């Protein structure tokens, strides 16, 4: 028997008294009739569901009730570890009919129930891990099993699976009288709890209660306020309580380590996603930068080509202007060549006219001189 069973190892401890209070509250949850089928579930793993189920079963057995604890978590069941019983045959073997050596008594329920060291307390372990746990739990055989066990036992406590991960416990909420959801201090999210409670109501679950687990309260505070710790005498039970408290702290530390490991894995996965996103962003920025550089280069190339084209156009215009000037010069030369004979003729004509005028002038001068001489001779 494991030390996790505080209600059995130290029945006078404050924690054991809390479980007895929980037992009384469950008995008064259903005012119409006694709750015989009780399902214990949680939101996520690590909230203490199996620990509360086992100790609650012990407190009912201590009250003289015939109690059967069924481990319906066929994926990660651990009630066989807590009570130190064989892990199979169990619930999955009974529902599937597989894994029993005695094939003649395969439907005999007593072959799947293990007796514990605690009086009036029996355990049905989860058994072999099946490929279809949800389908086995929703079967008519499971419904018949619970009805038959509720007639033979005073209390049947079912240790279910976390509701946020799988639907196994949701299937069972319709078959039981009361459903208890275990939550943990600074671990359970309000939205998750609200969603699970609404889902249980939607599928027809009844008498839903919530257990708040892992509340940090020091042993000194228990000694100052609790009835058993207020005595002036330091009894042996106090030392046992401290020992069990240390074990409880160790158990909670292991669960905390598992939770931290899950958080680290989640952070690692988020980091990988972030790295992929960052890499994608950098690749996108790099592509945009390369595109921008290419655009600049293309613009420079276009500018060079434009300048080159302008130079070519300017060169062509200059050549055209030169050609036009050369052509004009040629035309002028041609005109000049054509005009040369006419100019020569004109020059000769002018020369002839000049010589004629000169001769006439000379003739007139000679006549005038002769006339002057004649007048002087007279």
Between 225 and 196, residue with greater pLDDT: 196
Q: Which tokens is 80 given?
A: 């066989």
Give the H/E segment covering residue 191: helix 190-202
**Contacts with 161 (C-beta within 8 Å, 6 or more apart), sequence order:** 41, 72, 73, 75, 133, 168, 169
With a cut of 60, say whether residue 235 has pLDDT above it: no
Q: How many CB atoms lie within 10 A of CB 192?
A: 15
With a cut of 60, say whether residue 244 has pLDDT above it: no
DSSP one-letter string for 28-61: TT-SSS---EEEEEESSTTSSHHHHHHHHHHHHH
Query: What is d(CA 179, CA 157) in angstroms, rounded to the nearest whole number?
Result: 10
Q: Does domain 6-216 have CATH number 3.40.50.300?
A: yes
Q: What's the confidence (pLDDT) of residue 70?
A: 92
CB 237 within 8 A of CB 244: no
In the block, residue with structure tokens 């257990």: 211
Q: Across all residues in the chain, what is the average pLDDT?
A: 78
Q: Which tokens is 70 given?
A: 């069924």
Query: What is d(CA 368, CA 80) in angstroms, rounded to the nearest whole number?
Result: 173
Over residues 113-121, the mean pLDDT reads: 90
Percent of the chain with pLDDT over 70: 74
Q: How confident is the model at residue 168 (pLDDT cuts 50, 70, 90)?
A: confident
Q: How confident is the model at residue 375 (pLDDT cuts 50, 70, 90)?
A: confident
Q: What's the confidence (pLDDT) of residue 122?
A: 93
- HEC profile for 338-375? HHHHHHHHHHHHHHHHHHHHHHHHHHHHHHHHHHHHHH
Q: What's the confidence (pLDDT) of residue 233?
A: 42
Three-state DSSP at 132 gives coil
Tens digit of each residue's pLDDT (9 = 90 or more) over 121-151: 999 999 888 888 888 888 888 989 999 998 8
Tens digit of each residue's pLDDT (9 = 90 or more) over 42-99: 988 888 899 999 999 999 999 999 999 999 888 888 899 999 899 888 888 888 887 7
Beta bridge partners of 155: 67
Query: What is d(CA 246, CA 252) in angstroms, rounded to the nearest whole number?
Result: 10
Q: How many CB atoms lie within 10 A of CB 339?
A: 11
CB 201 within 8 A of CB 47: no
Three-state DSSP at 193 gives helix
Tens digit of each residue's pLDDT (9 = 90 or more) over 321-370: 677 777 766 666 676 666 666 666 766 666 667 777 777 777 777 777 77
Query: What is d(CA 48, CA 147) in angstroms, rounded to the nearest whole number?
Result: 27
Highest average pLDDT, of 181-190, 272-281, 300-309, 343-352, comes from: 181-190
Q: What's the confidence (pLDDT) of residue 370?
A: 78
Query: What is d(CA 38, CA 201) in angstroms, rounded to the nearest whole number?
Result: 16
Q: What's the confidence (pLDDT) of residue 231?
A: 45
Q: How confident is the model at residue 10 (pLDDT cuts 50, 70, 90)?
A: confident
Q: What's the confidence (pLDDT) of residue 236?
A: 47
Hey, which bits of 163-203 come out as E strands? Answer: 178-184
Beta bridge partners of 181: 41, 210
């Amino acid at each position: 028997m494991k030390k996790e069973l505080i209600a059995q190892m130290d029945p006078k401890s404050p924690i054991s008294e809390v479980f007895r209070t929980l037992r009384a509250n469950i008995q008064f949850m259903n005012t119409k009739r006694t709750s015989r089928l009780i399902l214990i579930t949680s939101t996520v793993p690590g909230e203490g569901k199996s620990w509360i189920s086992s100790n609650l079963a012990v407190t009912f057995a201590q009250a003289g009730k015939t109690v059967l604890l069924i481990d319906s978590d066929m994926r990660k069941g651990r009630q066989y570890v807590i009570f130190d019983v064989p892990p199979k045959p169990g619930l999955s073997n009974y529902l599937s009919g597989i894994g029993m050596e005695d094939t003649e008594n395969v439907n005999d329920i007593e072959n799947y129930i293990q007796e514990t060291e605690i009086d009036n307390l029996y355990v049905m372990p989860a058994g072999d891990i099946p490929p279809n746990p949800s389908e086995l739990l929703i079967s008519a055989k499971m419904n018949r099993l619970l009805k038959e066990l509720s007639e033979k036992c005073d209390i049947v406590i079912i240790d279910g699976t976390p509701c946020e991960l799988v639907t196994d416990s949701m299937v069972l909420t319709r078959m039981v009288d009361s459903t208890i959801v275990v939550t943990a201090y600074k671990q359970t999210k309000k939205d998750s709890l609200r969603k699970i409670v609404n889902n249980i109501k939607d599928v027809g679950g009844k008498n839903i209660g919530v257990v708040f687990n892992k509340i940090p309260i020091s042993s000194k505070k228990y000694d100052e306020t609790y009835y058993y710790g207020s005595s002036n005498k330091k009894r042996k039970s106090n030392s046992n309580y401290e020992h069990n408290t240390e074990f409880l702290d160790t158990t909670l530390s292991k669960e905390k380590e598992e939770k931290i490991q899950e958080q680290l894995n989640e952070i690692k996965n988020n980091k990988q996603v972030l790295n992929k996103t960052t890499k994608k962003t950098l690749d996108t920025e790099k592509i945009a930068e390369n595109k921008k550089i290419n655009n600049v280069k293309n613009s420079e190339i276009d500018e060079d080509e434009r300048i080159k084209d302008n130079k070519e156009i300017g060169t062509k215009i200059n050549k055209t202007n030169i050609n036009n000037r050369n052509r004009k010069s040629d035309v002028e030369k041609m005109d000049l060549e054509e005009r040369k004979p006419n100019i020569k003729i004109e020059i000769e004509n002018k020369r002839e006219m000049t010589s004629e005028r000169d001769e006439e002038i000379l003739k007139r001068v000679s006549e005038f001189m002769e006339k002057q001489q004649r007048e002087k001779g007279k």
